[in-house]
Homo-oligomer: A and B are copies of this chain.
Amino acid sequence: LNNWQVVDQHHLLKLFTFPDFKSALAFVNQIGVLAEEENHHPNINFTWGKVEVSIWTHKIEGLHENDFIFASKIDAITT
């Protein structure tokens, strides 16, 4: 994983930056497709040029192997 932070031993967090609002929103939609495919739904906090993604497993209120796999798939979108 690239630059994901483990926060409070509870979730993975990463900030992605973009040159404008449109490309940030496009990335949000790509994450949305992945989330529906995997039935794993992150928290997405975004605004002009910035998308902050948080991932955890709600059932255990913490981190599971699947969260790390999901994070790597999000990284794969951007490369």
Enumerate chain A interface residues (CB-CB to B < 8 A): 21-22, 25, 28-29, 32, 35-36, 41-48
Contact partner, A46, options B21, B22, B43, B48, Cβ 8 Å: B43
Contact partner, A47, options B36, B44, B47, Cβ 8 Å: B44
CB distance from A31 to the nearest CB of B (A): 9
| Residues in chain B near residue A42, CB distance under 8 A | 47
| Residues in chain B near residue A43, CB distance under 8 A | 45-47
19 more contacts with CB within 8 A, not counting A21-B36, A43-B47, A44-B46, are A21-B32, A21-B35, A21-B41, A22-B36, A25-B28, A25-B29, A25-B32, A28-B28, A29-B29, A41-B47, A41-B48, A42-B47, A43-B45, A43-B46, A44-B44, A44-B45, A44-B47, A45-B45, A45-B46
